[in-house]
Amino acid sequence: MPGEVLMAGGCQLYAEGICNQQDDSSNSPKKHSSSRSKAEGKRRFLGATAGEKPLRRAEPRRGVTLLRPTAATSKDVVRLAARSALRSFPGGSPDEPLLLVDLGKVKSQVELWTRLLPQVRPHYAVKCNPDKQLIKQLHSGDCGFDCATMQEINAVLSLGVSPGDIVYSHPCKPRTHIAYAKSQGVSLMSFDNSGELRKLAKEFPEAQLLLRLVCEDSSAQCPMSLKFGAARESWKELFDEMQHLKLNLAGVSFHVGSGCKDPESFEQALQDALEVFGLATERGMPPLRLLDIGGGFPSDEETFSPLAQAVSEKLTRLFPSAAFPGLRIIAEPGMLILPRHSAPCVVFMVWFQIMRLEK
């Protein structure tokens, strides 16, 4: 297992269907006040007012860092980290799942991205894992952040991330969440429908918008085109609405689906993005200055390397720097940045492995 540091995280706590977060300095969960009704809890979770601090979704509530002994084997590293984490709980035997994250591997994945796609700045998809230590490390490594909810924005900002390093990527947002983003200075956000434009015109007319395009993603492990993205036949209507409402189009975004390994999916998506750039020019709009190529990149270098090389070639060919001076290109990798063994979906598997190691 590569890397110099292992971090063991904690559990998730749910109360009345709402995720609460335990204070790091306590081993017992915070309890809802008996006077708070379920309706009040739901209101706080959704963030009824822009100035109100929302309850965040559950995240690992405690962490243990462990330097790896140079002479230890990979199995010994896992065993030592597991035992250290277990000892941090009362009685040394938690009935909760633990999450082991190799922060050295996280660092090497960011370096892999920078080496293969140097012209694309990664914005880590916080939904993949919102752990504080993970976000801090990525922030120190000059990553931006892709946030899909108000809670994710709040979590990232609380760790010192600049609002300018956040893209609010969900194309369908509650009004209160838009207002919250405005109050925090997070202005870059996506849309894919006229209803969203009308909400933005009322709540945050100064926002810098990314038109999210629908993609051909049938080859992806997790297609997203059925949920998100503006189809070609809606582009004219959306441009008409933007200009009527005097909104600011900053660029284009797309997502070829999670687990995409087909470079041709990016070819068509980039061709569509180029067409939208041209459409903005034809309508006399300010030059678009940002291209977001989404996420879905495979995590293993053997698969990612040829895909990254193909994407890099397509970007150079379709968006040459001479024709698009000052163009910012970003992406939203999640599982590529976070090592596969530390994904949230395997938390329980890791926990059971730890318990076996202790026996």
The pLDDT of residue 98: 62
pLDDT confidence band for 225 (50 / 70 / 90): low
- For 325-342, what is the mean pLDDT? 83
pLDDT at residue 14 greater than cutoff 50: no
Which one is catalytic: 105, 132, 255, 314? 255
- For 67-76, what is the mean pLDDT? 44
- Annotate 13-72 with three-state secondary structure: EEECCEEECCCCCCCCCCCCCCCCCHHHHHHHHHCCCCCCCCCCCCCCCCCEEEECCCCC
Return the SS3 of 253.
strand
Q: Give the pair of three-digit tokens for residue 268.
A: 């068509």
Q: Give the pair of three-digit tokens for residue 123.
A: 């914005």
pLDDT at residue 213 greater than cutoff 60: yes
pLDDT at residue 243 greater than cutoff 60: yes
Instruction: Report residue 101: phi and psi, to 5°.
Output: -125, 125
CATH dotted code for 104-331: 3.20.20.10
The pLDDT of residue 19: 29
Least confident of 62-71, 117-126, 177-186, 214-223: 62-71
Q: Which residue has the higher pLDDT, 30 or 147?
A: 147
Which one is catalytic: 107, 123, 127, 199? 127
Return the SS3 of 116.
helix
Closest by CA position to 2, among listed 55, 74, 72: 74
- For 44-54, what is the mean pLDDT? 37
Question: Cα–Cα distances in Å, from 243 out to 93, 187, 198, 201, 344?
Answer: 60, 18, 12, 11, 42
Closest by CA position to 97, among listed 349, 359, 357: 349
Tell me the angle at which helices 263-282 and 301-318 cross, rounded to the nearest 10 degrees. Answer: 30
What's the mean per-residue pLDDT of the chain?
75
The domain locations on the chain are: 104-331
Least confident of 133-137, 145-149, 163-167, 175-179: 133-137
Least confident of 141-145, 220-224, 259-263: 220-224
> What percent of the chain is predicted at pLDDT more than 70?
62
According to DSSP, the residues that pair with 101 across neighbouring strands are 7
Pair 257, 295: CB distance under 8 Å: no
Beta-strand runs (E) in the chain: 5-9, 13-15, 18-20, 64-67, 99-102, 121-125, 144-147, 166-168, 188-191, 208-213, 248-254, 290-292, 328-331
332 counts as catalytic: yes
pLDDT confidence band for 351 (50 / 70 / 90): very low
Which one is catalytic: 59, 196, 203, 332? 332
Return the SS3 of 248.
strand
The pLDDT of residue 256: 85
pLDDT at residue 89 greater than cutoff 60: yes
Return the SS3 of 193.
coil
What span, in angstroms and rounded, lies between the C-alpha atoms of 280 and 276? 6
pLDDT at residue 352 greater than cutoff 70: no
pLDDT at residue 318 greater than cutoff 50: yes
255 counts as catalytic: yes
Pair 102, 6: CB distance under 8 Å: yes
